[in-house]
Amino acid sequence: MKEGLGGSLENGLVTRSDPASRRPAAARCLLISPYFPPMSRIGAKRALHLCRNLPAFGWEPVVLAAPPRDGHVDPQLMEALPSGTIVSRGYAGTLRSFMHRALRFQPMPFEEVPRGKATRLRERRIFGQDVGFLTPLDQYVYDLPAAVREGVALVRRHGLRAIHVSADPWSGFLTGWLVRRITGLPLVLDLRDPWSLAAEKMALRPPPTRAAVRWLEHTVFRRASRIVLNNENACEAYRAAYRGRIPESRFTFVRNAFDRGLFLPSEATLPREFRLLYFGRFQRFVRPHVLLRAFRRFVDREGLTPSGARISFAGGLRPADKAPITELGLEDRVDYVGYVPYREGLGALRGAHVLCLIVPPACEIQIPGKFYDYLAARRPILALSANTEVDRILAETGSGLSAPYEDREVAAARLGELYGRYRRGESFDLDPGAVEAYSAREQGRAIAAILDDVTS
């Protein structure tokens, strides 16, 4: 036996601490999630939440995950995994294992991951088409045979009663579907993001790939006992898209969540100057220009100097993201925090007066995962939003204000309202009870109810 990340490793199984100390559970389920701690990718977060919260409601996950070999690792996340959690790293085929051995690949902290050849390759274009959108699946499709074999073995070895797949990566759905065909267990498909209904991503794919996505999605959906979306808008969109083909009752939604227990203790204090914070990196469909234009308009309206109001970006900015900062003359008002480990994130969030969220039209049926961590931080949120569900949650919980995505005048006025509270010396601590419905415990309760239903 040898030591793995956060626990002992034997035959590909990682067990946190002493298995004898594990709380007895009424039932066990197979949790398939290629992304899993110590990976720090956003796709690992929901699976970690379920491992921490499902046992309280009678379900104990046995995890099938990929080895942490593609960079972006945070060993602190393994420390948050409950004692006795069984994790198999068997979601890895011979080809992947050989390539990583040949290339002598080593996982590394997120902030040290270089911009390597693989990243540049994904961004290249062939006949005008992005390479990364040529396939309907993902990099784990090569691991499918090994993942299915390991999934079936886990079912038989541990007497599992259900299969729960957290995706994307979308190849996890095919793995769950094939394990279900072999074992006959009920299958719950849990979508981290829309697949065929992600309109902007689908537009980047060539027609044959779009057709393959729709066929694959329909194939696995037909055999699922339940299809879980992570917000209400997405659930309604999928019910409409599959009306007449799959019963509407098979679709449901369980929101993403925050888990205060994941964060390390912190004693963050608010700075003297009025400070805004955007947490996380920008990407293809989420750009900083709308926020920067609103901030520029706000400081001009209020006549604020750089020492009176500042905006911080935690997670790093690409050169393209920095261009509007220069164009708007904001270089002396912007601070760069750099990478913040997830478990230390709550302290960073609570060190700002206002937390900024950008929800573009491309995310009309998506809610950024950081939104729920913002709720945990109990600081007012300013959302530049094209998502009606985000706007409704902010209003119902009293957690912040929203402005139309491209309307910098309204956004500047909303900032002015929050700045008025700062000038009057009002508290920026929000009521923690108002957002408890969005906690990981309630998320675990909802998923447990689904597992109870499909196995009853």
pLDDT, one tens digit per residue, over 194-249 is 999 999 999 999 999 999 999 999 999 999 999 999 999 999 999 999 999 999 99
When comparing pLDDT for 370 and 111, which is higher? 370
Q: Which residues of 268-302 are buried (b: 16+ CB within 10 A; e: fewer)?
A: eebeeebbbbbbbebeeebbbbbbbbbbbbbbeeb
Question: Rounded to whole angstroms, how far apart are CA atoms 293 and 74?
Answer: 34
What would the two tokens of residue 388 be?
Answer: 């009606």
Give me the half-sphere count of Cα atoms (radius 13 Å) on the Cβ side of residue 9: 9
* Mean pLDDT to the nearest integer, 120-143: 69
What's the start-to-end Cα distance of the chain, in Å?
38
Question: Rounded to whole angstroms, how far apart are CA atoms 352 and 345?
Answer: 12
Residue with tokens 């699922």: 224
Task: Assess whether pLDDT exceeds 60 at residue 17.
Answer: no
Q: What SS3 class is residue 406?
A: coil
Calculate the dihedral angle through the C-alpha atoms of 178, 182, 188, 192, rounding to the nearest 10 degrees: -20
Residue with tokens 């234009």: 293
Q: Are 221 and 197 in contact (CB under 8 A)?
A: no
- DSSP state at residue 27: E
Domain 2-257+440-455 sits in CATH at 3.40.50.2000
Supply the mean pLDDT for the chain.
88
What would the two tokens of residue 320 be?
Answer: 């393209």
Domain 263-438 sits in CATH at 3.40.50.2000
Query: CB 348: neighbour CB atoms within 10 A?
Result: 19
- The pLDDT score that the predictor gives to residue 124 is 55
Amino acid at 83: S
Q: Are 327 and 354 in contact (CB under 8 A)?
A: no
When comparing pLDDT for 98 and 264, which is higher? 264
What would the two tokens of residue 141 be?
Answer: 């499709």
Domain boundaries, the chain: 2-257+440-455, 263-438
269 pLDDT band, cuts 50/70/90, is confident
Task: Assess whether pLDDT exceeds 80 at residue 105.
Answer: no
317 pLDDT band, cuts 50/70/90, is confident
* Mean pLDDT to the nearest integer, 57-65: 97
Q: In CATH terms, are 2-257+440-455 and 263-438 the same topology? A: yes
Cis bond before residue 431 (omega within 30° of 0): no
Task: Assess whether pLDDT exceeds 70 at residue 14.
Answer: no
Residue with tokens 């009521």: 431
Q: Cα 71 from chain centroid?
A: 17
What would the two tokens of residue 354 be?
Answer: 């206002």
Question: Rounded to whole angstroms, how far apart are CA atoms 395 and 357?
Answer: 15
